[in-house]
Structure 1
Amino acid sequence: MLTNAVPTTNGPVIGAEQGAVRAFKGVPFATARRFARAMPRPAWTEPRRCTDYGAYAPQPGHLDQAEESCLSLNIWTPSEVDRPLPVMFFIHGGAFVTGGGADYDGAFLAKHGPAVIVTINYRLGPLGFLQLHRHGLGEANNLALQDALAALDWVHANIANFGGDPDAITLSGQSAGASMVIALATLPQARGKFSRALALSAPGRTIMSADHADEVARRVLDELELARDPAAIASVALPKLFAAVERVGRRLADETESGTVFGPVLDGTVIAREPRDVFADGSLRDIPLWLGSCRDEMVMFLKSTPPAAMIRTTERQVRAAFGDAGWERLLSYYRATARVDEDPYEALLSDAFWHRPMADLARLHAAAGGAVWLSRFDHRPALEPFLSQGPTHGADNACLWAHLPDFIDRPILKRKGGPMTPADIDVAARFQASLLRFVTSGVPDVAEAWPRFELPQEPLAIFGQPFHIVPLNEGVRSRLWVELSASDNNKKMREAG
């Protein structure tokens, strides 16, 4: 059954009743020409039917999508709303190259919040992240982040008409989406438009240097033989453009320290400051922050064919920081302290690329006076690839969006859902309840059950059976990292002095 028309700043929209929830899918929030900043959509007067997901952002496997019409969002809101409800604004992951809001059905979370759930599409791969402003395309920098900002602006201006509270918006995201959240939260243009932030499995380096991004752009232009006519890239067929990017990415993985092709960029204009510096100086101390990761993040990437580039680049970065002797010492400690089912090499890389950077960000926010909570997801969902790979990257996300007692289908990723085990239901229910409590109040649990992250205790919440709290800085692994980091800092100070 269709809903009544809801007014927006662009024009009225009609959604569909989905049980006790109203769903509005494929709602346009902006439009954009290739390599140009997102602009408001032309207004409409007749009610627009928004009952199906909008076009995917062009990506491998979906290069037939209309790129100028991919900027849409989806809203789930309880049918009966007697007060303004908190809003969860979710940015999907996918290595900045794949994914979309259609993989996340927010009906279950909306009903059980109660809350208003929003998922968005933004431009991906070269269309959203190729930095071309130094090559004559003046607006082409951090376009994907500007897409997300445009979506946030639209939600802040319109969500009250859908039962949401524009003064209680939580920025949330997973993986690449978590990097987007961390960057978006620090933008002056976003200030006052959100009140909390949740980042699940943000990569260790959430921001790229402008020089590296410019090198990526130069290589792509060279690959397309457009170095003398960069503007012509705007008319290159999408399959040709994405194929060139893939070839450049493979070479970058072997030739550069970073190995990264895309991500938010410290360009000096859209992102004027390193996000971690903004957290450290206390500018965001009034924003409650939840940072989470999965226990075995790197397993998925180690088992990919070929293994993901981040495997090699992370090892190179650790060796560069601590030397070959430091790397071997770390690996020896991990082997000596490994669980029976643990790959020491994977555990070391997971700590280096995922867990430790998130802990460092938590320390910065806590030291600046901000409220922050740190979690790790240790449960193995009974759903592939987690059933065979354990609590690897995305395990928490699968449980977060589950419609208990079932995992949901992921149409873009082409992953089927399925029934959950009692253990899945137990852990997922706790995880969802904590998230909805955080979205509602800015605190994921009562202090006795999950204390906020503060120095020197540094409590880490473990989502498993049972849910429990452990000291983050406990054990020989943590002490060795501290020792090596202190030695590296002393060396840098001597070299600088």
Structure 2
Amino acid sequence: MRLGLKLAAIMSALFVVSACTSVEPAPEPHPDTQRLLSSGPVVGFLSENGAPTWLGLPYAQSTSGDNRWRAPEPTPSRTGLLEALQHPEPCPQIVNRLSTETTGLPVGALYGSEDCLKLDVYAPASAESGADGLPVMMWIHGGSNTWGYASQYDGSKLAQEQDVVVVVVQYRLGPLGFFAHPDIDEGQGANFALLDQVAALNWIQAEISQFGGDPDNVTIFGESAGGQNVAALLASPLASGLFHRAIVQSGFFDSVPLDEARNGDVNSAIPAADRMVEAQGNPDLRALSLQTVFDAYNLGDPRAELPRVIADGVSLPRAGLASAFDSPETFNAVPVITGTNRDEMKLFNALNDDLTRRRFGVLISIRDRAYYDRLSHYQSRLWRILAVDQAAERMQSAGHDQVWAYRFDWDEGGRLLTMNLSEIFGAAHAMEIPFVFNHFDFFGQLDRALFNRSNEDRRDALAASMGAYWANFARDGDPGAAGGPDWPRWSSDAELMRFDAPSPELIEGADSLSALLSDLGSDPALSAAQICRAAQALSNWRDELEDQILSQTDCAA
């Protein structure tokens, strides 16, 4: 899946800097937030809306030195009071325009610390340590599994308004998070990021009751790469019993074969490690500098691809992530919500020079509005088919019927200078995140245009509904009618929940690749040349579908 790797480039070109990452003075510790964890005492603070908050709590030791490319180790005990008042330093990653102002470093520089396995906890004011626990929701951030950090996400409103405990976790990224080199294989697999997330879930089991959470009622949820990680945890035997519901937001249910991750192309583990050793002259991979490790993947592009979510036979089945869902005996068969955004691909198409123009490097205009919309429609439908229809059908065919599906359609973004954001982005990738968290300080400089006074009442109503559905699912394992109409379970003839302002509604359910290709092949809004151009774009995205896509649209060479 290559699309996620382009996200940093897209946001960079839009000069977006996340306001959530700005450095602010640490808040004052509040005595009511002092807790005693197994590692020692901690104290947090009250957020602006009164939610007890603890930032930067370590759930594992630093992964530097001998701990690099090993399973995370528990944090040692201490006697001093830990003031959990500031977000943790991000895990090592390449700086993009989302982080350049915060770090003061140029785009392409290496940023972050290996002492990054930390998490943020947000509780409602009603939460009481040791009392009957509230539902726990562990958020796994997106970012192509190569970048991202906890400070991008503020869980205080979701916690306070929906009476849940929100945990935002950091995990190893890029070559530190996914590395399939046989020389470091000690029976722990290649998905160190997943091992981190399992460690965070174990921390929740041990500690979350101190924050008012129920360790027997844990929901994992995440978006994009975070959604794919949720799917991976569903399939991971290492995560068995550690969570009880799962929400996949614009994620995928696929993985990279182990042999390919080891020696498949220039960025697989063995050739990359050869470059590391050659650069530093040291065969001990764990002794190499961070810069050396990341430089091995630069190759002229700081966002160079590398294998991620690997079918290593330890954290994931060797047969592949998707194969796990063929039987409830081979995955963690908990209630699942999976969904996508109606216009996922508009985020990526916005900076495709074949589809748009840019003035002054940033002001986007669409070249051919009709083609742009139809292409994005078919690409986004394919995303939905892979992430929703096929995944849900696979689980249901295996006998697991506790699956719900949605589509997010909100597209009321305003204007920024000459750009009509409703047309350019619509209900694009990641657009649902501010609604789930009910926190519209997310896209940086775009926020004031996307989320403006004219759409405030309608989006606030939709955010309240989405938060209620998500929390009700976390609470009871069934979203029910918490935020609007009753949300039925998925079936081949069932309905999806359509999230759009001002309130959700049900729409007809199933879609399929054959239906998509039939519609594309006869689309009256497109010329024959445009149909084949769109078919080629679909096949370039999913190589394994190329023959089927081109043949069924009469576009094969």
TM-score over 0.5 for the pair: yes
Q: 1:453 to 1:483 in 2, by over 3 A?
A: farther
Counterpart in the other structure of 1:27 = 57
| Preserved contact between residue 218 and residue 227 of structure 1 (Cα < 8 Å) | no
Q: Give the letter aligned to residue 255 of structure 2.
A: I
Structure 2 unmatched ranges of 5 or more: 1-28, 96-102, 104-108, 356-367, 522-544, 552-557
Task: For 1:226 and 1:94, locate their aligned partners in 2 and report how far apart those are by CA, in whole Å.
Answer: 29
Q: Look up the equivalent residue of 2:286 and give its one-letter code.
A: A
Q: How does 1:104-143 map to 2 (within 5 A)?
A: 104-132=153-181, 134-136=182-184, 138=186, 141-143=190-192
Contact 1:298 1:349 in 2 (8 A): yes
Give the match's secondary structure for 1:94.
coil
Give the counterpart of 1:172 among 218, 221, 233: 221
1:263 equivalent among 301, 305, 308: 308
Q: CA deviation at 1:481?
A: 6.3
d(CA) in 2 for partners of 1:374, 1:166? 26
- AA aligned to 2:441 is I
Unaligned runs of 5+ in 1: 253-259, 309-337, 492-497
Q: 2:247 aligns with which of 182, 193, 198?
A: 198
Aligned residues of 1:37 and 1:140 also touching (Cα < 8 A): no
Please state if 1:467 is matched with 2:504. Answer: yes
State the secondary structure of the residue aligned to 1:73.
Answer: strand
The answer to whether the Cα contact below 8 Å between 1:58 and 1:64 also exists between their aligned partners in 2 is yes
CA distance in 1, matches of 2:433, 2:514: 27
CA contact (8 A) 2:246 2:335 kept: yes
Larger mean CA deviation between 136-145 and 164-173 belongs to 136-145
Question: Is 2:234 the counterpart of 1:185?
Answer: yes
Distance (Å, rounded) in 2 between the aligned partners of 1:426 and 1:341? 32
Query: In structure 1, what is the equivalent of residue 388 of structure 2?
Result: 358
CA distance in 2, matches of 1:251, 1:395: 22
CA–CA distance in 1 between the matches of 2:50 and 2:296? Answer: 47
One-letter amino acid of the structure 2 residue matched with residue 400 of structure 1? V
What is the count of residue pairs matched by the alignment? 445
Question: CA 1:476–1:414 in structure 2 vs 1: closer, same or farther (change >3 Å)?
Answer: closer
Cα drift, residue 217 of structure 1: 1.2
Determine the C-alpha separation between the residues in 1 that align with 2:386 and 2:178: 26
Residues 387-430 of structure 1, C-alpha deviations (whole Å, 9 max, x = no match): 44111110111221233xxx1246xx887566562232222222
CA distance in 2, matches of 1:342, 1:151: 41
Q: Do 1:431 and 1:463's aligned partners in 2 also have CA atoms closer than 8 Å?
A: yes
Displacement of 1:26 in angstroms is 0.1
Partner of 2:407: 376
Residues 414, 176 of structure 1: alpha-carbon distance in 2 compared, 3 angstrom cutoff: farther
CA distance in 2, matches of 1:381, 1:194: 35
- Work out the CA distance in 2 between the residues paired with 1:249 and 1:366: 41
Classify the secondary structure of the residue corresponding to 1:213: helix
The match for 1:324 is none
- 1:194 Cα deviation from its structure 2 partner: 0.9
Structure 1 residues 4, 22: closer, same or farther in 2, change over 3 A? closer
Does 2:221 align with 1:221? no
For 2:334, which of 275, 279, 287 is the aligned residue? 287
Give the residue type in structure 1 aligned to 2:42.
Answer: V
Change in Cα spacing, 1:476 to 1:236, as seen in structure 2 (3 Å) is closer
Q: Summarize the Cα distance change of 1:149–1:265 in structure 2 as closer, same or farther, 3 Å threshold.
A: same
Answering whether residue 246 of structure 2 is matched by residue 212 of structure 1, we say: no
With the length of structure 1 as denominator, give the TM-score of the two structures: 0.80
Alpha-carbon offset, residue 87 of structure 1: 0.4
* Cα displacement (A) at 1:4: 3.9
CA shift for structure 1 position 16: 0.5
Is 1:10 aligned with 2:10? no
Equivalent pair of 1:74/1:118 in contact (CA under 8 Å)? yes
The yes-or-no answer on 1:74 pairing with 2:120 is: yes
The range that moved more, 291-300 or 223-232, is 223-232
Question: CA contact under 8 A between 1:91 and 1:181: conserved in structure 2?
Answer: yes
Q: State the shift of 1:278 in Å.
A: 2.6
